[in-house]
Amino acid sequence: MNPEIPSAISIAIVRKASVADIPAMMGLMYNLPTASQWSEAQYFELFAPNSPTRLALVIEQESSLLGFLIARSSREEHEIENIAISTLSQRQGLGTKLLKGFMRIVDETRPTKVFLEVRESNMAARALYSKLGFTQVGERKNYYRNPEESALFYQIVMP
């Protein structure tokens, strides 16, 4: 790689999502069959003052939203509920950068664990989670539909 030309990952930024990001997040979600398919109301609920504690992050480059992560958070643990990277931006390290950004933020709250679930067939996501220290701790048979397949549960225990 030429050191004078920045890579896509180096110029992509991770930031907290806002209500203004909802249309782009939903557009990305609709184009990714592996993303959890949430309603518009569920996205707006993320930013409601009386909603459960949630953290929503986006990764963007040159004002284009390339991915997002949504997690339910408590003081003791966090659960990643949805993570998505646009099809054209996959395999460029953006999922790693987004997940590491999330881990830096939640590390400040000193949680004991972070949980997530993933489709059994989503080998790229499973490899990413394993690379970052998550371990598989369970399985729910035939949890997903279209196509029907198992959900695998992963966790990482924080130091």
CB of 67 closer than 8 Å to CB of 98: yes
From 43, 117, 144, 154, active-site residue: 117
CA 96 to chain centre: 10
Cα–Cα separations (whole angstroms), residue 65 to 28, 41, 47, 120? 8, 20, 18, 26
From 43, 60, 81, 129, active-site residue: 129
The residue written with tokens 């992509």 in the block is: 12
Cα–Cα separations (whole angstroms), residue 69 to 1, 55, 94, 124? 29, 8, 11, 16
149 is catalytic: no
144 is catalytic: no
What are the start-end ranges of the E strands in 86-145? 113-119, 135-144
* Active centre residues (catalytic): 117, 129
